[in-house]
Amino acid sequence: MPTLDTLDVRGKTVLVRCDFNVPLEGGVVSEATRIEASLGTIRELQAKGASKLVLCSHLGRPKDKVEEAWRLKPVGEELSKRLGQHVTTLQVTVGDEAKKAIKAAQAGSIILLENVRFLPGETKGNPELGRQFSELADVFVLDAFGTAHRDHASVTGPCRHIPSAAGRLLQKEVECLGRLLQNPPKPFVTLVGGAKVSDKVEILESLIARCDALLVGGAMAYTFLKAQGKNIGRSLCEADKLDLARELLAKAKARGCVIELPVDHVAGSEFKNDCEIRRDVAEVPEGFMGLDIGAKTAAKYAETLSKAKTLLWNGPMGVFEMENFSRGTKVVGEAFAASKGYKVVGGGDSVAAAEQFGLAARMDHVSTGGGASLEFLGGADLPGVKALREGLKGAAKG
Ligand code: ADP
Ligand code: MG
């Protein structure tokens, strides 16, 4: 995959596909991690003598048309503040008006295009729209890891028409996550949890093939426990995924991957923090639901993690958002962070948990792309990465 190390940007207009899909509140950016994360690539392009920077991104989920609530203006304002330089936000994305505005801008300007998902062809990966994006600049930089698993026009299109490279954010994700796929030092242990087995089938299958141990917590553990004939009370369970769970357990056994399931639980009478609670019970009592792993399970998982040389964490061990059910995630998360191995955390809620417990800074890599990181770790060739690799040769394919 080409990177900024080889792309010639001096004196050029550079189109950068960013991931500025940030939360807004009352028309301003309320959480700017993704904007902050993009600054490295932007500053490097400036330092390397790029003439004009044309940034683009999606925001929210507009339905192929202009929706006032999802205009990128607030992003432009936040960017201006953080860069200490005025960013001009256009109300158009591609076409003559955009071209004219870019042409008229002075060297050194930064221009932000309007929301790419206002255009009907964007999420369909329309090749003609991809070409129109490429007409706005001399070279293209893809830095939106969070959307690199989508064959969208602004992600995969420009690579086929102008010289392109990965930005530093995308590069770091591919390199750090890639270390988990290419002969990771053993033992390789994955801590997996969160809501559903069905959300994570691909990654579970892929991990079973690569890991020495899979430590399962969170709601998904109950589908596995139920598949083994355990009582799970009213815990979340995907009744239609019991066969799949059995299949995964059998595959793991055949592959020599140990799947560990919770041996005790913190159960609540209701899905809320203040309810009747049974702590550290070996089985979820009738009428209760398992909302966290118990102390014995947490200690066991922590012990396994402390000996691992490669560690991946995806999915919280319990309903960590509720104080009474946060202990398992905290204990196991701390053991994870304390391990001497190579440590990667991915997944929106897992990253939030790591941040909530003050563990994020101790990780080797915190992956920002939820769906993209899962697909990548599941072994998929991300369309954005593939398009960069194929470059201009990809044009023949449309
Ligand atoms: P990630 O975003 O890290 O991939 P998921 O989205 O799969 O994680 O799952 C996170 C959610 O799972 C959290 O909101 C958490 O409250 C919930 N969760 C974890 N354990 C349980 C449980 N035992 N019962 C119900 N919900 C749970
Ligand atoms: Mg999530």
Q: Is the link from the previous residue into 158 a cis peptide, with omega within 30 of 0?
A: no
Contact 124, 35 (CB under 8 A): no
Return the amino acid letter for 37.
A
**Tens of pLDDT along the chain (398 residues)?**
999 999 999 999 999 999 999 999 999 999 898 999 999 999 999 999 999 999 999 999 999 999 999 999 999 999 999 999 999 999 999 999 999 999 999 999 999 999 999 999 999 999 999 999 999 999 999 999 999 999 999 999 999 999 999 999 999 999 999 999 999 999 999 999 998 888 888 889 999 999 999 999 999 999 999 999 999 999 999 999 999 999 999 999 999 999 999 999 999 999 999 999 999 999 999 999 999 999 999 999 999 999 999 999 999 999 999 999 999 999 999 999 999 999 999 988 999 999 999 999 999 999 988 788 888 988 889 999 999 999 998 776 54
Q: Is the CB of 184 under 6 A from ligand 1?
A: no
- The reported pLDDT for the residue numbered 396 is 63
Ion ligand 2: residues, CB within 5 A, are 348-349
Q: Which residues contact 148 (CB under 8 A, 6 or more apart)?
A: 142, 155, 170, 173, 369, 372, 382, 383, 384, 385
Residue nearest (by alpha carbon) to ligand 1 atom 9: 194
Residue nearest to atom 24 of ligand 1 (CA): 219
What distance in Å separates the CA atoms of residue 384 and residue 396, rounded to the nearest whole number? 16
Exactly one of 12, 17, 34, 210 is catalytic; which is it?
Answer: 34
Which residues on adjacent β-strands are paired with residue 350? none
Q: How far is the CA of 164 from the centre of ligand 1 (A)?
A: 37
**Predicted local confidence at residue 167, as pLDDT:** 98
- Separation of CA 119 and ligand 2 centre (Å): 27
* 82 included as an active-site residue: no
- Separation of alpha carbons 136 and 139, rounded Å: 9
Local structure of residue 29 (DSSP, 8 states): E
Cα separation, 227 vs 241, in Å, equals 9
pTM: 0.89
DSSP 41-102: HHHHHHHTT-SEEEEE---S---SS--GGG-SHHHHHHHHHHHTS-EEEPS--SSHHHHHHH
Q: Residue 134's pLDDT is what?
A: 98
| pLDDT reported for residue 369 | 80
CB atoms within 10 A of CB 85: 13
Q: What is the pLDDT of residue 398?
A: 45
Would you say 245 and 230 are in contact if contact means Cβ atoms under 8 Å apart? Answer: no
Instruction: Supply the residue whose CA is at minimum distance from atom 25 of ligand 1.
Output: 219
Q: Do residues 342 and 364 lie in contact, with contact meaning Cβ atoms separated by under 8 Å?
A: yes
Tokens, residue 101: 């505005």
Q: Confirm or reject: Cβ of 321 under 6 Å from ligand 1.
A: yes
317 close to 290: Cβ distance less than 8 angstroms: no
